[in-house]
C-alpha cells in the first residue's frame, strides 16, 4: 500500500469525506492524484511517496515567488523571532499599509485579515455601512470564498440567505444594468472578479466596456464597486487588475499571492469609504500576525523587482504555445482560455471531462501537475527549462490519449 493510500484510509475515519474543500482529490481530480504532499521547493512538489512534480497549481494561487522562497522565508522568520502575535500589532502593519498605498492606485487605506473570504465579506460590510443600503450584486457562478453569500452552494444554507445578493451575468452590460435597476435605491455594491475565472468553465477576459459600465452604474447609484482581486491580484498587474482599463474600484479584496503563501488577506479602499471602514467592527484572532506582513512586504518587493505580471505572462505563453502545437500534432482540439499567466486548459467536445481527466492523469505520471477544470498558475520560480521539461511530459501524455 502506498503511503498516500495509507493516509487516505486513516483520514476517511477522522476527516469528513476523507478530505474537504478544494483540496479534496476525491471528487475533484482524476484517480491517481496524490492527496498528500511532503515537500515543496521552487516550482516543484514531492508527494508522500517520493514522486516529483512540476507544479502548475501553485497551491491554488498563494505561491507566486516559489515554494520555500528564501527571501520571503527569511523575512517571515526574522519577524516571527522578534514578535508575531501579541496584544497589539507590530509596526510592520503600518509599513505594509503604506506599501499597499504606494502600489495600488485606488488604495488610501488598508485593513489586513487572513483569508480572501474575510476580505470580500469585509468589503460588503463596508459598502453597506457607508451607503445604509442592503443589496450586493454578485456574478452568477463566481466564487468569492466558501461563505454562503460568496459561493452560493445551497447545502447548509437557506435560500433566504441570498435575498440581498441578487445575481448578474459577468461581462453582460444589459444583465448588470437590469440587476441594478431592480435593486435601485437599495444597492450597496457590485462585486466583480478580475476576469471570469469560474471553475469548470472556459475563462473569459473582462470586456473593458463592461468594466466601465459597472463603474458608471456604481457612480449613478452611489454604490461601491468591489473588485475581488483575491485570485488574480499581483498576477496580471502590480496595480488592481482593472487598472488597465482605467477603471478603479472603491474597495478591493486581496489574499492568496500577496505574501507567497503566508496567511494574510487585505481590504483596500478609497477615501470616501474610510469612515465606514473605521466604524465597522471587523477582526479575527490571527488578523494582526506580523510574520505574514513581513512576508508580504518581501513578496511585493520581489514581484516589483522581477515585474512579475510580464514574466508570468511570458512563461504562460510559452506553455500555451507548446500545448497548442502538441495538441495539433496529436489531433486534439484544446481550448486554452484566460490570461496566459493563469491558464485554463480543457478539451473541445469534452462535456464529461473524459479527455481532460485522461490527459491530466497521463501528464501526472510524467511528473507534470495540471488541473483538468480549474485555472492554473505560473510562478516566478518556473524557468523556461521547467516549462520545456513539462512540455516534454505533456507531449508524451497527448500520445497516450
Ligand X SMILES: Cc1ncc(COP(=O)(O)O)c(C=O)c1O
Q: Which residues bind ligand X (CB under 6 A)?
A: 115-117, 120, 143-145, 193, 228, 230-231, 255
| Cell triple for 81 | 523571532
Q: If you write DSSP's letter for every residue of 301-320 in order, what string do you get? A: HHHHHTTHHHHHHHHHHHHH
Q: Is the dihedral of CA 364, 369, 372, 378 positive or negative?
A: negative
- For ligand X, give the closer residue by CB, 119 or 387: 119
Smallest distance from ligand X to CB 143, Å: 5
Smallest distance from ligand X to CB 128, Å: 18
- For ligand X, give the closer residue by CB, 135 or 231: 231
- For ligand X, give the closer residue by CB, 4 or 375: 375
Smallest distance from ligand X to CB 44, Å: 22
Angle of helix 290-305 versus helix 70-82 axis, rounded to 10: 150
- Give every strand in the sheet of 224-228, ordered side by side: 109-113, 265-269, 251-254, 224-228, 187-193, 135-139, 167-168
- For ligand X, give the closer residue by CB, 228 or 350: 228
- For ligand X, give the closer residue by CB, 230 or 362: 230
> 152-176 as b/e, with b when 16 or more CB fall inside 10 Å?
beeeeeeeeeeebbbbbbbbbbebb
- For ligand X, give the closer residue by CB, 193 or 299: 193
- For ligand X, give the closer residue by CB, 145 or 292: 145
Q: Is the dihedral of CA 401, 197, 375, 242 positive or negative?
A: positive
Smallest distance from ligand X to CB 266, Å: 11
Q: If you write DSSP's letter for every residue of 92-113 in order, what string do you get? A: HHHHHHHHHHHHSTT-SEEEEE
Smallest distance from ligand X to CB 3, Å: 27
Closest CA to 138 of 115, 161, 164: 164
Nearest residue to the partner ligand X, using Cβ: 116
For residues 216 and 177, the answer to whether their CB atoms sit within 8 Å is: no
Smallest distance from ligand X to CB 194, Å: 8
| Cell triple for 53 | 512534480
How far apart CA 120 and CA 149 sit, in angstroms, is 10
Smallest distance from ligand X to CB 259, Å: 12
Smallest distance from ligand X to CB 56, Å: 16
Question: Phi, psi at residue 147, to the nearest 5°?
Answer: -65, 155
- For ligand X, give the closer residue by CB, 5 or 244: 244
SS3 label, residue 170 = coil
Amino acid at each position: 500500500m502506498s503511503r498516500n493510500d495509507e493516509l487516505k484510509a486513516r483520514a476517511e475515519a477522522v476527516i469528513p469525506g476523507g478530505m474537504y474543500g478544494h483540496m479534496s482529490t476525491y471528487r475533484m481530480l482524476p484517480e491517481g492524484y496524490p492527496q498528500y504532499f511532503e515537500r515543496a521547493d521552487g516550482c516543484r512538489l514531492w508527494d508522500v511517496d517520493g514522486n516529483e512534480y512540476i507544479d502548475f497549481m501553485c497551491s491554488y494561487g498563494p505561491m507566486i515567488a516559489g515554494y520555500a522562497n528564501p527571501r520571503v522565508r527569511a523575512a517571515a522568520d526574522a519577524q516571527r523571532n522578534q514578535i508575531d502575535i501579541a496584544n497589539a500589532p507590530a509596526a510592520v502593519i503600518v509599513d505594509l499599509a503604506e506599501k499597499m498605498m504606494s502600489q495600488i492606485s485606488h488604495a488610501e487605506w488598508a485593513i489586513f485579515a487572513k483569508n480572501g473570504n474575510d476580505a470580500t465579506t469585509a468589503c460588503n460590510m463596508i459598502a453597506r455601512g457607508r451607503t445604509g443600503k442592503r443589496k450586493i450584486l454578485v456574478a452568477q457562478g463566481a466564487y468569492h470564498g466558501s461563505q454562503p453569500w460568496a459561493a452560493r452552494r445551497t447545502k447548509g444554507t437557506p435560500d433566504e440567505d441570498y435575498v440581498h445578493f441578487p445575481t448578474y451575468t459577468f461581462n453582460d452590460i444589459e444583465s448588470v444594468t437590469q440587476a441594478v435597476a431592480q435593486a435601485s435605491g437599495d444597492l450597496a455594491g457590485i462585486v466583480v472578479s478580475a476576469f471570469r475565472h469560474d471553475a469548470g468553465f472556459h475563462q473569459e477576459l473582462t470586456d473593458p466596456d463592461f468594466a466601465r459600465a459597472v463603474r458608471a452604474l456604481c457612480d449613478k447609484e452611489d454604490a461601491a464597486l468591489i473588485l475581488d482581486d483575491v485570485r488574480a491580484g499581483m498576477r496580471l498587474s502590480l496595480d488592481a487588475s482593472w487598472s488597465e482599463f482605467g477603471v478603479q474600484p472603491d474597495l478591493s479584496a486581496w489574499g492568496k499571492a500577496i505574501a507567497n503563501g503566508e496567511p494574510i488577506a487585505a481590504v483596500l479602499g478609497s477615501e470616501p469609504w474610510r469612515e465606514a471602514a473605521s466604524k465597522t467592527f471587523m477582526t479575527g484572532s490571527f488578523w494582526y500576525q506580523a510574520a505574514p506582513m513581513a512576508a508580504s512586504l518581501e513578496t511585493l518587493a520581489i514581484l516589483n523587482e522581477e515585474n512579475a505580471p510580464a514574466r508570468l505572462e511570458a512563461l504562460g505563453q510559452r506553455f500555451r504555445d507548446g500545448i497548442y502545437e502538441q495538441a495539433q500534432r496529436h489531433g486534439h482540439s484544446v481550448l486554452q482560455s484566460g490570461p496566459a499567466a493563469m491558464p485554463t486548459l480543457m478539451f473541445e467536445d469534452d462535456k464529461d471531462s473524459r479527455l481532460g481527466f485522461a490527459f491530466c492523469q497521463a501528464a501526472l505520471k510524467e511528473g507534470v501537475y495540471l488541473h483538468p477544470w480549474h485555472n492554473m498558475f505560473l510562478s516566478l520560480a518556473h524557468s523556461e527549462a521547467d516549462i520545456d521539461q513539462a512540455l516534454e511530459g505533456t507531449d508524451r501524455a497527448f500520445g497516450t490519449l
